[in-house]
Structure 1
Amino acid sequence: VNSQISLSESGPSIVKPTQTLEVTCTATGFSLTDSSKYYSLEWIRQFPGKGLEWLGRIIHNGDLYYAQSLKGRITITRDVSKGKVFLKLSNVNADDTGKYHCATSHCNRSLYFSYNNYYQG
């Protein structure tokens, strides 16, 4: 994997019940609109001691896809000029506790980066 291609995150450590979780994924080394090298930015989460759940994706042309179970609570947006993709999950509850992950495809290679920053408060 090209070492210049990376994702980094920022967000809160604790979000209390009924609040909104907001996490930012910053992509470097590629353009979020370059369909020849990049397809989608995925959001997934891992529950403590359990598997992964897919949350949603935004593809290079801006189209959005959300998990059916989260529709009405999840919003994914982006700022192409800054290479940032934003996840918002509203009205969080204990069932949302877990590690949030960002993943992207670039040149047919997948990059996964852990978001260890969300714990139910």
Structure 2
Amino acid sequence: MKKVEAFIRHEAFEPIRMELLQLGFPSLSISEVKGSGRQKGITERYRGAELTNYLRPKLKLECVVADRDVATVVDTVLKHGRSGAVGDGKVFVLPVDESYRVRTGESGEEILQSHPGAAADV
């Protein structure tokens, strides 16, 4: 199992979410985060003063998938998240050693529940 962590622009989220849902990956965690990178700061004027904001808002998308599904999820994020401009974000793939369903105590990949045909539920 792998955990895919993607830091993306807000406007890229909905197309990514829709395609992952259609592909059978409805389980995502989303966090609003701020960070800095090559994009550097944006200087704005507020009440006559110049302010530089070095922390840019992003969304952090997290998804744990079976090893065989990593490429599908990463390709979807890259396809919809890429604008070609600095600040598009990053994708990280991390190993997951164990997983458990709290409700039943089940463990392993069977708790990941990829949902074939999930688009029919939309």
**What TM-score do the two structures reach when normalised by structure 2?**
0.35
Looking at both structures, which has the greater relative contact order when contacts are Cα pairs under 8 Å and sequence separation is at least 6?
2
More strand by share: 1
TM-score where L is the length of structure 1? 0.35
Higher Cα radius of gyration: 2
Greater helix share, structure number: 2
